[in-house]
Amino acid sequence: MSEPTHSYILAFDTANEVITIGLGVADEADRSISAVSSVEVEARRASNTQLLPRIDALLAEQGVSKGDIVCVVCGRGPGSFTGVRIAMATAKGIASALEVPLYGVSTLDSIAWNLHDAGLRGPAVVVADAMRKEVYPVRYELVDEGIERLEADSVVKAETAAEMLAVGRGAASASADGGGVAGSSDSVVGANAPASIIAGDALKKYAELFEPCGAFADKALWTPTGKGLLRAAQEAWRANLLDPFDAAFGNPAFALPVYTRLSDAEENERIRLSKNEPKNLRTGVQNAGVRRDQQPSAHDTAIENARADESGITYRPLDAAHAHAVAELESELMGTDAWSEALVLDELPRKDRVWWAAYGTDDMLVGYAGGWIVDGQVQVLKVAVAPAQRRRGIARSLLARIASDARDLGAKACSLEVRASNEGARALYASLGFESIGTRPKYYSDREDAVIMEGPLPLDHHDVAGMELQVHGGKALRVEDGCLPVRCDAERRLDVFAAASDGRGERIEAAAPLVLAIETSCDETAAAIVDGSGQLVSDVVASQIDFHARFGGVVPEIASRKHIEAICGVADECLDVAAARIGVPRLRWRDLSAVSVTYAPGLVGALVVGVAFAKGAAWAADLPFIGVNHLEGHIYANKIATPDIEPPLVVSLVSGGHTMLVHVKAWGDYETLGSTLDDAVGEAFDKVAKAMGLGYPGGPIISKLAVEGDPGAIDFPRAMLHSGDLRFSLSGLKTAVITYLRNEEAAGREVNKADVAASFQQAVIDVQIAKAEMALKLTGAKEFCLGGGVAANPALRAAYGVMCERLGVRLTLPPMSACTDNAGMIALVALDRYREQKFFGLDADAQAHVNLDEPY
């Protein structure tokens, strides 16, 4: 007689130095979760290599199949940013592939449940390490019925938190400089209150600081446990926040980590914009080629980087330079309730405030909005749009940006007051999900009532995570985009997928392998599927460029955050597009042949997200897991345009991070002939564009401007042109351009930026062509290819065309859509590795740097 099956809940957390795993049985009758096993293991920054193997071992030990898992529970922090993202990305992959709900619980709440279940009662404080001499402190009341959280998540200096707790006040409310914890100013505890029970991994660092604050719990209770995670999930179930048996309560795409603060780049930007210092606050150096009495202020710098939307409106954080314009619009629209310029300026530096503005032509302020984050909610302080600019969606866009920042600061909901007579505004808020919950009588200066409204964060999701999806190889496929059409005749339809069952049966074997690839090495979240013939069935990209442009370059922390937000949506779209192309109602993870991912090189925080997600999905769907070298992907991108291309060949890899010539002796057998000693080509383009005040990304801007200039106008150096080897150096050229600009400035001459752009670009091209010709002659190869983002440069592509025609060499260029980072090229590599059975284990991890020449 077979053993009865159970409905299991899998829970795990990696927010600190401990890997925590819990396995519980869900009882739908009384909404309880009984812990079967709880595992806690020291990880010491190795969570991504240990988490899945330990989960796999635990299920095997308990005799539990993956098909018995009905829900995944994940600790969402706060904690180590990388640690939290490892758990969250893994959970998203597992839940997506198993098609079960994913529910995120507070890491700190799980610790509080540890204290409760250990029999402790009374006031308690959990203080988790936030690095930078800061902690995440949350106070609780432990009663027989459970735990009562007294405040929202926040970050505070360890010394400040200890001082507040020591005097019996709990954690203080956030001040203008962000020194306290939001939302507890009205929760002062009397001097005779009982001593708090204190737990949390911050005690390992700051035990002496917190000794006067109460009694330390046993060390075994300082970190999350599997039982604690399951207890937190059980209470969420009983509060109707979770239903393990209903996917509507746990879409993996909507689960996000707890951050409590903006990225360093965003925080520093707010500080700079609030000061409006007369210098280039984006690069940290003065702009060359601009008179010193005309140096751009912070808002000038933001103008250079900001990108207008389709209607010509530009959105960026409000800066001090426009405080006067805000006050003027306030006076026009708000009457006696208008804020003064001084009040606006006072708001900008506050860490618990977020302010955004909208600008039309000539940097004219046309709207603004501000919010105050308190008690896990954002209170909208102001929303205003110039009358002539209304009905263009500006207010919605401003609110969406306020909501996005507020969410990253811990807000989960939104509230505001609006005049009772303002029917248009009330209708707008109602359309965003807000409801009236009461009134404030005679709230405004003219004695009119204010209607209080509350609702969800009015986020602007677009296609996914605030980004538009670019689909190649799907319904929007066009040959002119450089994407190959997929044959969908009867022989190629893979009709076997139509037999997919709705149950949890065995994985369906396709007539031809389908391999899905994930790419997150930098600032594109991408997914693609390749079939057995090497044709891309779908290729989807969500670009983050709009989130990085205002900083003049990619911000690693923002990139990693956006990958976590976008990865489920991108993967889902990839599967849907593939299903439509193949001609089946639905394509599921279990219908694939393998899952692959870029594991190196790149931004390690970004790579970690893709690797953890792909590993989780591969494990859950019982599929082989394949790691791919990103640089090898750029080589394979040439197969998209020329499927019959075969080694030997020479490839020039030119991007923001790489400049190298590679001899491809065979697929998978590479020899780097030469690489840059300093800056990469794309990096040089970006830095020169910054120096010229052209904005980001620099490559396309300089390329477009160079068309109008004379490439021979300025004799910039061709570094290492005659070095006799295949190495490159771009740093000297970049410096020469900046020096030229500054000399022209000193002489009082107006700079012809088109000539500078054309001359700089030509200097780059001359060296690239000379080295490529040398490589072809050295190897004897009769095929030459390009790869990387700079491969989209029209002048460079044309120059290579001339060179190859002169040498009698065939030139293959990747389509424009495949020059920048994409998953299609990763999928093509993965297909070959799948056939060769070159798989990675569940202990694989992301790597920032690898040697392309070394087999893997």
Q: Where are the domains of the chain?
A: 8-110+228-254, 119-217, 264-412, 469-489+508-636, 649-813
- Which pair of tokens denotes residue 87? 């758990």
d(CA 617, CA 611): 10
d(CA 183, CA 173): 5
Among candidate residues 189, 195, 199, the one with its CA nearest the CA of residue 126: 199
Strand extents, DSSP E, 176-292: 196-199, 214-216
**How big is the chain by its Cα radius of gyration, in Å?**
29
Confirm if 358 and 366 have CB atoms less than 8 A apart: yes
| 119-217 placed in CATH 3.40.50.1980 | no
Residue 173 has what pLDDT?
A: 36
Helix, coil or strand: residue 386: coil
Residue 488 has what pLDDT?
A: 29
Query: At the top level of CATH, which class does the domain 264-412 belong to?
Result: alpha beta
Q: How far is CA 461 from the centre of its chain?
A: 14
Confirm if 606 and 567 have CB atoms less than 8 A apart: no
Q: What's the CATH architecture for 8-110+228-254?
A: 2-Layer Sandwich (3.30)
Say whether 821 counts as a known binding-site residue.
Answer: yes
Say whether 634 counts as a known binding-site residue.
Answer: yes
Instruction: Provide the β-strand partners of residue 685.
Output: none
Model-level pTM? 0.88
Alpha helices by DSSP H, 335-418: 341-347, 394-408
d(CA 651, CA 667): 12
Confirm if 58 and 39 have CB atoms less than 8 A apart: yes
478: burial class by Cβ within 10 Å (0-12, 13-18, 19+)? exposed
Contacts by 184-190, CB closer than 8 A, 24 or more apart: 184/139, 184/150, 184/151, 187/139, 187/150, 187/151, 189/123
Confirm if 91 and 76 have CB atoms less than 8 A apart: no
d(CA 368, CA 71): 42
Side-chain half-sphere CA neighbours of 447 within 13 A: 0
Say whether 656 counts as a known binding-site residue.
Answer: yes
Instruction: Provide the β-strand partners of residue 661.
Output: 652, 674
The answer to whether domain 264-412 and domain 649-813 are alike in fold is: no
Among candidate residues 92, 144, 110, the one with its CA nearest the CA of residue 16: 110
Say whether 110 counts as a known binding-site residue.
Answer: no
Distance, first Cα to last Cα, the chain: 47
- Which pair of tokens denotes residue 79? 């904690």
Confirm if 50 and 43 have CB atoms less than 8 A apart: yes
Say whether 699 counts as a known binding-site residue.
Answer: yes
Say whether 654 counts as a known binding-site residue.
Answer: yes
pLDDT digits (tens, 9 = 90+) for 39-84: 999 987 889 999 999 999 999 999 999 999 999 999 999 999 999 9
- Strands of 783-787's sheet, edge to edge? 669-675, 659-666, 649-654, 783-787, 810-812
Helix, coil or strand: residue 712: coil
d(CA 15, CA 105): 12
Q: Which helix (H) or strand (E) holds 595?
A: strand 594-600
Q: Most distant CA pair in the chain: distance in Å?
A: 94
Give the chain's residues under pLDDT 50. Answer: 1-2, 169-191, 278-303, 474-511
Cα-Cα-Cα-Cα dihedral of 805, 809, 810, 816, to 10°?
A: -70
Residue 276 has what pLDDT?
A: 65
Say whether 630 counts as a known binding-site residue.
Answer: yes
pLDDT digits (tens, 9 = 90+) for 116-173: 999 999 999 999 999 999 999 999 999 999 999 999 998 999 999 999 888 764 443 3
d(CA 151, CA 149): 6
Token pair 């912070």 in the structure block, residue: 298
Token pair 């592509």 in the structure block, residue: 797
Burial of 613-644, coded b for 16+ CB within 10 Å and e otherwise, reads: bbbbbbbbbebbbbbbbbbbbbbbbbbbbeee
CATH no., domain 469-489+508-636: 3.30.420.40
Residue 500 has what pLDDT?
A: 34
Token pair 């860490």 in the structure block, residue: 351
Confirm if 365 and 321 have CB atoms less than 8 A apart: no
Return all residues near 20 (Cβ < 8 A) that are at least 6 apart: 11, 12, 13, 14, 38, 39, 40, 75, 110, 223, 224, 225, 226, 228, 229
CATH T-level fold of 649-813: Nucleotidyltransferase; domain 5 (3.30.420)
β-pairing, 625-629 with 594-600?
parallel
Residue 304 has what pLDDT?
A: 52
Return all residues near 807 (Cβ < 8 A) that are at least 6 apart: 773, 776
β-pairing, 377-385 with 365-374?
antiparallel
Side-chain half-sphere CA neighbours of 542 within 13 A: 28
